[in-house]
A and B are shown apart, each in its own frame.
Chain A
């Protein structure tokens, strides 16, 4: 048996971004001892990169907003493939989750009457995003980090130990979940600092590990986004859904090459910025798809009037959902109307006074000035699509965040369903608050009701440790993990990227097979002390598994919808709307099978006009709609 550092907790939360921290707060408030395990330092998680805001129908900027409007916008954004129960809970609970943050000390920007200010964003009918300039994610993560500190201070006052109830394991990576008789029993991790292993004995694990973007070359995601939670869940026996849906954010930086992919917030467009091609034409008016006809302005005059009079004008198509805008930019560039460095222009300089731009978009001003020598108050930005978010993730029960494996829960980007085929901007921060809390609650309730805790099998621990150490014993002339990673990113970017077709996806699958074999031949140099090559070798195993899920699901779905665009099947197909593709793994073999979703509850279905539903649904599905029966 391996000598190993051991800890016992009621709940272990993996990931210290917004969803993870919110889950920690909830489980601790229910009285449980909670560990939060994070690959990075505390407070550095990917949530800090969220810029634009957090969607919640508080109605501070427009009193007509309410949860029903938010629900409808979310379902439209996801092209009606969303898990409607998640979309319902999300729309209903988001305002409370935002207000709660103020009691933790958050300082959002304000309206004139002192309420939380709300900004416009793509796909949202009304100004809905609570924000702090363009650094909203930082505010969220710092606020929750500080709330956790305040809970630790309470515990210190009571017990003399800050870590009596909540302990942070920073720079600690989980490599395997352990199960006993199909139930979660623990997790094996290693400290990045010294390479020593840690065993968590716990009946409940909340996965909040974020996304998978690091499998793509051009991405707004950091090194952490290697699909760890997705892969850990699968290997523990859970299922993933919607993995074919990957969001390419329309506006990433395109130049200089070293910053290609870094995010340019949608807030630029929310605050008046417009997209233009090399002919100086606002091209988005040409790209309003049929399903959104009538909902967006058809002339620049109307679009410009909308900023000041939203009740009597329709919004600018610059604020269509992200999938539509990303495809439009892609088409403009392909047609030869792109900017010098292969993007299009995003112009805020001619739309707002310089001081106003700096006040509303300080990080964007700073980012372009520092990294590209571009003054966005004087000249347009060059932008293009960048891999940003995965809609797919762990299949969960909407109310509790429970995965199909007892004791396993998931929230935030690593869970699937909420956003359907495409996520609206601003719905990510609200998602992680709403479902982070629910997963924390779900885990707490599970532990409360659980009788005997499943024991950890020592042989599983030994096996996990041996697997993690294998790259040190690779062949002398073995593979360099950085090379394998670079080739994976290139393949996914080129072959399973924003526009897909069968031959290319098949090529990608063949390359993935090769890369899987090469990954087994990886050899790492140096020792176990903070060794990035070794860390990457382990992360690669997750990236390869998750990439295969993306590619296999993308090949099966023979239609285009949201974050899945098939050149060979360009249309949306109503027969596919209600089908989920469910991924699981047996040994090394990934299986993807279609499954029907539960039909939407009647009262929710009736929130939509029949005419709109007919664009998405089959005839049979709408037989019970009251307007059809009338």
Chain B
């Protein structure tokens, strides 16, 4: 494959107004969408706003919607499009636009702050933590999250319903609750709050979050559904809770 000229439509504007703008831009072998956005900056649109850092799918900064599909720009190869296809790049829809492809994602940081943090076990000194690999792997899957917020952007509970933002933490942070709940040494009960404070009940497991996760985390199957099961399996009862906490390490790995 040699170089070719691609047709791009990029959303330009700010919180007040904006529109798609057409560009014709060079594409070379092996390039990704973010390379093309950078080429536009360097040659045609020096003030085109885009958020990015690592360009290797590790930091989760360059989230956008490419032909309507939420994706990381750095991990979307141009070879997945035909040469004559018009490629439309728009900012994430669920969050307010700051400028061009950059959105205000502060919603997510506010939600993060509402999830009670890891509660270290009492009487276990630093260096004395003992956990089995099989037990840490459940939470480790969720800790692969790079906080690109594509799942938050995609989840229809908030994508089309601004009013739900107040009472719904979103898949990323419900998964954080699940991560702590499955942490072998976390000393806090998470299940009641998941339902009552973080809006787990809003989720109707359509798996849209899982589909867009660039890390391939099974958000719905491994975090949200098990969390829902734990919540409905019991009425809140500290004895049952303690029992679950003690015996869950023999449970199956999800």
Tell me if chain B binds chain A: yes
Contacts of A524 in B (CB 8 A): 46-47
Asked if A322 is an interface residue, CB under 8 A from chain B, the answer is no
Task: Using CB atoms, name the residue of chain B closest to A39.
Answer: B53
* Most chain B beta carbons < 10 A, residue from A43, A58, A255: A43
Contacts of A285 in B (CB 8 A): none
**Total cross-chain contacts (CB, 8 A):** 177
Distance between B156 CB and nearest chain A CB, rounded to angstroms? 24
Evaluate whether A262 and B47 lie within 8 angstroms (CB atoms) in the complex, with A103-B126, A132-B143 already known.
no
Are A48 and B58 closer than 8 Å at their CB atoms? yes
Contact with B along A250-294 (1 / 0, CB 8 A): 000001111100110000000000000000000000000000000
Among A109, A150, A534, contact of B133 (Cβ-Cβ < 8 Å):
A109
Contact stretch, chosen from B115-123, B157-165, B200-208: B115-123
Pick 29 A–B contacts, CB within 8 A, sort by A. Answer: A40-B59, A42-B109, A44-B53, A45-B53, A49-B54, A49-B56, A99-B126, A99-B127, A99-B129, A102-B129, A103-B120, A105-B120, A107-B143, A110-B132, A114-B132, A133-B140, A135-B58, A222-B59, A258-B28, A258-B35, A363-B58, A366-B216, A367-B56, A370-B75, A370-B77, A526-B46, A527-B47, A529-B99, A530-B98
Asked if A46 is an interface residue, CB under 8 A from chain B, the answer is yes
Are B49 and A259 closer than 8 Å at their CB atoms? no
Distance between A358 CB and nearest chain B CB, rounded to angstroms? 11
Asked if B32 is an interface residue, CB under 8 A from chain A, the answer is yes
For the complex of A and B, the 10 pairs showing the least CB-CB separation, nearest first, are A256-B30, A526-B47, A105-B118, A150-B117, A114-B130, A533-B46, A482-B42, A99-B126, A530-B49, A99-B127
Task: Using CB atoms, name the residue of chain B closest to A40.
Answer: B53
Distance between A195 CB and nearest chain B CB, rounded to angstroms? 10
Asked if A503 is an interface residue, CB under 8 A from chain B, the answer is no
A-contacting residues, B62-117, CB 8 Å: 75, 77, 98-100, 102, 104-105, 109, 112-113, 116-117
Contacts of A407 in B (CB 8 A): none
Are A257 and B29 closer than 8 Å at their CB atoms? yes
Asked if A113 is an interface residue, CB under 8 A from chain B, the answer is yes
Contacts of A520 in B (CB 8 A): none
B-contacting residues, A430-486, CB 8 Å: 480-483, 486
Contacts of A41 in B (CB 8 A): 51, 61, 105
Are B126 and A100 closer than 8 Å at their CB atoms? yes
Contacts of A534 in B (CB 8 A): 47
Asked if B232 is an interface residue, CB under 8 A from chain A, the answer is no
Are B52 and A223 closer than 8 Å at their CB atoms? yes
Chain A: interface size category? 35 or more
Alpha-carbon gap, A170 to B57, bound state (A): 20
Alpha-carbon gap, A223 to B113, bound state (A): 28
Contacts of B46 in A (CB 8 A): 480-482, 524-526, 532-533
Evaluate whether A132 and B30 lie within 8 angstroms (CB atoms) in the complex, with A223-B53, A532-B49 already known.
no
Are A224 and B99 closer than 8 Å at their CB atoms? no
Contacts of A48 in B (CB 8 A): 54, 58-59, 146
Asked if B14 is an interface residue, CB under 8 A from chain A, the answer is yes
Among A133, A222, A223, A258, contact of B30 (Cβ-Cβ < 8 Å):
A258
Distance between B176 CB and nearest chain A CB, rounded to angstroms? 9
Contacts of A113 in B (CB 8 A): 130
Are B41 and A532 closer than 8 Å at their CB atoms? yes
Asked if B189 is an interface residue, CB under 8 A from chain A, the answer is no
